[in-house]
Amino acid sequence: METQTATATTWSIDPTHSDIQFKVKHLVISTVTGSFGQYEGQVETIGDDFADAKISFSADINSISTGQEQRDGHLKSAEFFDAEQFPKLTFVSTSMTKTGDDTYSLTGDLTIHGVTKPVTLKVEHGGQMVDFYGQTKAGFEAAGTIKRKEFGLTWDGVTEAGGVVVSDDVKLVLNVQLTKQA
């Protein structure tokens, strides 16, 4: 009796229908949201099953936007991301484990500012659908928190009252639509 081997399926991030954001507390009282405008990523699955998916992702640091040009320039500078020396942030998965009907735990190596650390994100699968063009799409939301100082983003400002200007905790929120490749 022959056993059938499931074939690998490649999915690519659809940047038109995706959003890569980060949120960080400013002065500990409000949240600043930023995003990356240029990024790419691929997911490799066995068939259409996302358990054990292999994921790779990169974002261009120069595409960072917080809606405020001066702050964006500061983030791209050597005091933060140092876009000239470290032009990309990358993520490569090490495991994607099903935790519920539509939920996963995604662990991988995140590299920012030349520093690589393991991170774990909670992932929710929004489902699959065939679009108007006959392309199979899959939607996901991933979220987690990292410590920016662990990645060498150590700039600190202190207010006159001694308060912290930028929190160490950075929330990551990724809403991603994937397109199944033929």
Place of tokens 């939301």: 141
* 3 lies in some domain: no
Which pLDDT band holds residue 181 (cuts at 50, 70, 90)?
very high
* 2 lies in some domain: no
Distances in whole angstroms, Cα of residue 118 to Cα of each of 71, 86, 94, 146: 28, 18, 9, 10
Other beta carbons within 10 angstroms of residue 108's beta carbon come to: 20
Q: In this predicted structure, what is the pLDDT of residue 33?
A: 82
Domain holding 30: CATH number? 2.40.128.110
Which whole number is the average pLDDT over 2-27? 80
- Structural domain including 97 reads 8-180
pLDDT at 109 over 90: yes
* 44 lies in some domain: yes
Distances in whole angstroms, Cα of residue 73 to Cα of each of 61, 121, 144, 152: 11, 28, 25, 18
* 1 lies in some domain: no
**How many domains does the chain contain in total?**
1
* 122 lies in some domain: yes
* 128 lies in some domain: yes
Give the whole-number percent of the chain exceeding pLDDT 90.
Answer: 54
Query: What is this structure's pTM?
Result: 0.86
pLDDT at 31 over 70: yes
* pLDDT, averaged across the chain: 85
